[in-house]
């Protein structure tokens, strides 16, 4: 988000930006899943990383390993969020 000036922005501003641009949010922040996704629904869709403390490398490996699941999720009309662990 820092590339578009939203690094320190409130969740709502990030949510609105992603929805407007048609992006999917990938996050470890449970607020996006619990509060935003359940209450507001898509867009945007949410991919929630449920790994706890981990390295960027571990997150990258998780995302690469789930690439087919992520692609199917992105193309499907439902559901609004995907949990990866």
**Per-domain boundaries in the chain:** 2-84
Greatest CA separation for the chain:
31
Task: Look at residue 45 in the predicted model and tell me its pLDDT.
Answer: 93
Task: Look at residue 12 in the predicted model and tell me its pLDDT.
Answer: 87
Task: Look at residue 23 in the predicted model and tell me its pLDDT.
Answer: 93
What interhelical angle do 67-75 and 56-65 show, nearest 10?
70
pLDDT beneath 50, residues of the chain: none
User: pTM for this structure?
Assistant: 0.88
């Amino acid at each position: 988000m820092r590339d578009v000036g939203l690094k320190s922005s409130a969740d709502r501003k990030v949510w609105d930006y992603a929805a407007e641009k048609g992006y999917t949010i990938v996050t470890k922040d449970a607020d996006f899943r619990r509060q935003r996704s359940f209450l507001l629904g898509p867009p945007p869709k949410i991919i929630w990383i449920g790994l706890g403390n981990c390295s960027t490398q571990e997150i990258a490996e998780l995302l690469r390993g789930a690439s087919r699941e992520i692609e199917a999720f992105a193309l499907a009309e439902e559901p609004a969020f995907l949990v990866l662990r």
